[in-house]
Amino acid sequence: MPRADTTQPTRILVVLPSWVGDAVMATPALRLLRDRLPGAFIGALCRPGLDALLAGTNLIDEFHTQQPAGVMTPKHAAAKVRGRKYDAALLLTNSFSTALTARLAFIPRRVGYDRDGRGVLLTERLRPPKNPDGSWTITPAVNYYEHAAQAFLGDDPPPLSTAPLTRADRAPLILPDNAKLELACTEGDRARANATLASATVAPDQPFAILNPGGNNPAKRWPPERFSALADHLWQTHHLSALINGAPAEADLCRSIAAGASCDPAPVVLSDHDHSLAGLKALCERARLMVTNDTGPRHIAAAFGVPLVSLFGPTDARWTTIPCAREAVVLADPTLDPSESANDHPDRCAIEHITPERVQAAVEDVLN
């Protein structure tokens, strides 16, 4: 139901999700706020790095960054935002600590999902969807964030996750027809990307694909030797150089993939060339293709309309269904009944079951 008080706020704090991919999946909700409240001041509380990710858009007027620092994090974060005198907060996070931050910042209206025991800290509690057995209902994150933004604006949003799950690779999206993931590049981002390519001796006019072999869970990582073979295939078949992207902690993984490829020129390991998240945006803007595990750069590429091949093993792809016209979602077990979740079948849905031939076929589909 819409809230009784329809007075719209003029100073809004949005508490952004912590993960890169989730922050990108929140951009349709941020766009809804910006378009519906064009005169409002919108601040964002986020982890360092997400400010660079969203830089260049007009979605956020000011970023307040806070690195998690244990039990004192809510106090420190509240001190950063309190002086802005926000009159409302939209929490796109699920944690108790972020709700406590909004309360300690003396923000009078606090809207978020009633999870993690934080309902007492919220002035408006949104109900997250659950199955009859108490487990969480598979709900695409973009729907989750959009629903919260609509409720914040006083709308009467449609219920989450009422449509039946008829496919194993994607769930229905409850979004406006024109909704999309949204990022932008600054000139500084592009200069950073140009410097990376120059350092790696990649010619300015050389087309390239980005391979993203990492992931926060090793079980989500397609075997590195298959990425090596894919780099060779992309060069031989499409004359695409391979740029291998990964977090600093994944540098050895990326180097092993480059070393395992036989193509000339050899794949470029981006972390060896002073690569950054801001630079990755500008590289995605120019990429012809990305092949990726279930991890944040997938969503960055989607925001720039890059043809995508996304590999899913023991995590259910429907949690992260995104509005993307040129994406092939490759499941470890495409025969799993849509009523079940891949998360519950780690052996059956092990990512090693994805063959190189299926990935190559998906590449052909999205490129053609």
Tell me which architecture the domain covering 11-152 has in CATH.
3-Layer(aba) Sandwich (3.40)
Sign of CA pseudo-dihedral 325, 327, 328, 330: negative
What is the amino acid identity at position 252? D
Rounded-to-5 percentages of helix, strand, coil across the chain? 40, 15, 45
Measured at the alpha carbon of residue 48, what is the angle toward residues 43 and 50, in degrees to the nearest 5? 65
Give the Cβ contact number of residue 130 at 10 Å: 11
Band (pLDDT 50/70/90 cuts) for residue 2 is very low
Beta-carbon contacts of 317 under 8 Å, excluding residues fewer than 6 positions away, are 168, 169, 170, 294, 310, 329, 331, 342
Each residue's pLDDT tens digit, 42-66:
999 999 999 999 999 999 999 999 9
Question: Domain 189-367 class?
Answer: alpha beta
Provide the mean pLDDT of the chain.
94
Numbered ranges of CATH 3.40.50.2000 in the chain: 11-152, 189-367
Banded pLDDT at 6 (limits 50, 70, 90):
low
User: What 3-state DSSP class applies to 65?
Assistant: strand
Residue 1, pLDDT > 60, answer: no
Beta strands, E only, the chain: 11-15, 41-46, 62-65, 88-91, 109-113, 124-126, 208-212, 241-244, 268-269, 289-292, 308-312, 327-331
Specify the DSSP element, H or E, that contains 80.
helix 73-82
H/E stretch holding 258 reads helix 251-260
Q: Do 297 and 24 form a contact (C-beta atoms < 8 A)?
A: no
**178 Ramachandran zone, left/alpha/beta (phi>0; psi -120 to 50):** alpha
Record the pTM: 0.95
pLDDT in tens, 9-38: 999 999 999 999 999 999 999 999 999 999
DSSP assignment letter at 159: P
**Using CA atoms, how far apart are residues 286 and 211, in angstroms rounded to an integer?**
14
Contact criterion met (CB below 8 Å) for 41 and 13: no
Please state the separation of Cα 72 from the chain's center in Å. Answer: 27
Query: What's the rounded Cα separation, in Å, for the pair 98 and 73?
Result: 9
Tens-digit pLDDT profile for residues 163-173: 789 999 999 99
Quick one: tokens of 277?
A: 């998240």
